[in-house]
């Protein structure tokens, strides 16, 4: 099993779109730990953000919309970045029902505009576009989807991410296939968990809010399955993928980063583990089924054999450990521990495993 190459990232300049989001904040923190300098681009008007609590070393940022091509092009070209991670997105299935147009605009055209801006950034060597495990046409199979399986989406979010993958492939074939062009790949991860995610309609943030307020967690779909993993595991995979692209060891492609098949859990199992790890009076209950049920996938897993074989990537923490760590993060944060120390604790532990 390979590890992230610290020497590769030392003093690298890394451009991150969506740096204010949950995964973006963790990614910038991880890169700072590796000795890289990060330049963020994006905007997030939510009241509570992990990013706002962190003091990330060697970090600067631009407030802007990825659909503003002129601003995006100027910021990326001026950054002198070696590597680009594109994470900016509308990331929620239920929100996509409320705002389908905005979801497609951000997730599809935002991605196209980022890649268009990247064409003019002479310093770039590698680009990783982060999409989702939900890009696959979901047949409710018990086995994991592989990178060559059909794309699709029964809700605006999933469809927008599948469309983004098609757009990435077209942009790569059209503009990034020449010698000297940066190598581009997409990364598809499962349900990531970890401390500091305050988004609505996500199981563990909902759990942390409810339990901290003395209420039981209300669970919508107890029997649904997802590939749960700690946020640092796929982020480590993204870094290893970028290293391989920059060093021309890997061709442009799509890559899955998920837990082992036997590690997939139902929502009910995750809720049980989370409340047990929190302790005290933590509890959960199933929500009554509403009359107007918005479609969400029941069974969904991905096969990460390609990343394991060709990149040497492997999840460091099994799902049960990831859930316990996440519960401890939120519990300790509620008790007064500061977010930078909690994020630093998990990053340090990642390199001990």
In this predicted model, what pLDDT tens digit does every residue of 90-129 receive, in sequence order?
Answer: 988 889 999 999 999 999 999 999 999 999 999 999 999 9
Distance from C-alpha of 36 to C-alpha of 45, rounded to nearest angstrom: 26
The per-residue pLDDT for 353 is 64
List of the chain residues with pLDDT < 70: 1-2, 290-299, 353
Distance from C-alpha of 207 to C-alpha of 182, rounded to nearest angstrom: 41
Fold annotation for 10-192+229-258+302-317+338-350: Rossmann fold (3.40.50)
Distance from C-alpha of 207 to C-alpha of 230, rounded to nearest angstrom: 16
Distance from C-alpha of 135 to C-alpha of 165, rounded to nearest angstrom: 8
The per-residue pLDDT for 110 is 98
Residue pair 26/346 in contact (Cβ under 8 Å)? The answer is no
CA atoms within 13 A on the CB side of 170: 11
Q: Which long-range contacts (CB under 8 A, 24 or more apart) does 90-94 make?
A: 90/157, 90/160, 91/21, 91/132, 91/157, 91/199, 92/157, 92/199, 92/200, 92/201, 92/202, 93/134, 93/155, 93/157, 93/158, 93/201, 93/294, 93/296, 94/200, 94/201, 94/294, 94/296
CA atoms within 13 A on the CB side of 59: 23
Phi, psi of 183 (to 5 degrees): -80, 140
Distance from C-alpha of 60 to C-alpha of 38, rounded to nearest angstrom: 7
The per-residue pLDDT for 300 is 75
The per-residue pLDDT for 296 is 55
């Amino acid at each position: 099993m390979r590890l992230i190459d610290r020497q590769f990232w030392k003093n690298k300049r890394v451009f991150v779109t969506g740096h204010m989001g949950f995964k973006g904040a963790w990614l910038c923190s991880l890169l700072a730990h590796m000795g890289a300098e990060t330049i963020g681009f994006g905007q997030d008007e939510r009241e509570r953000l992990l990013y706002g609590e962190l003091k990330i070393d060697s970090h600067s940022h631009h407030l802007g919309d990825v659909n503003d091509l002129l601003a995006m092009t100027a910021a990326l070209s001026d950054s002198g970045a070696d590597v680009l991670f594109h994470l900016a997105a509308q990331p929620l299935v239920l929100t996509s029902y409320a705002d389908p147009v905005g979801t497609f605009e951000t997730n599809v055209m935002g991605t196209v505009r980022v890649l268009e801006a990247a064409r003019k950034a002479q310093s770039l060597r590698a680009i990783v576009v982060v999409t989702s495990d939900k890009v696959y046409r979901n047949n409710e199979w018990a086995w994991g989807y592989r990178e060559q399986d059909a794309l699709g989406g029964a809700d605006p979010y999933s469809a927008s991410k599948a469309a983004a993958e098609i757009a990435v492939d077209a942009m790569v074939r059209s503009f990034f296939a020449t010698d000297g062009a940066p190598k581009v790949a997409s990364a598809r991860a499962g349900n990531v968990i970890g401390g500091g995610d305050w988004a609505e309609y996500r199981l563990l943030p909902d759990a942390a809010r409810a339990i901290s307020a003395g209420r039981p967690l209300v669970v919508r779909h107890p029997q649904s399955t997802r590939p749960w993993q700690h946020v640092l595991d796929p982020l480590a995979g993204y870094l290893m993928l970028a290293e391989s692209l920059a060093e021309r060891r890997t061709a442009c492609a799509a890559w899955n980063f998920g837990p082992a098949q036997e590690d997939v859990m139902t929502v009910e199992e995750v809720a049980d583990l989370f409340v047990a790890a929190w302790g005290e009076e933590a509890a959960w209950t199933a929500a009554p089924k509403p009359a107007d049920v918005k479609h969400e996938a029941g069974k969904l897993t991905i096969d990460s054999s390609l990343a394991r074989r060709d990149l040497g990537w492997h999840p460091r923490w099994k799902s049960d450990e990831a859930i316990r760590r996440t519960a401890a993060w939120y519990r300790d944060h509620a008790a007064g521990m500061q977010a930078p120390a909690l994020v630093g604790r998990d990053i340090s532990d990642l390199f001990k495993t």
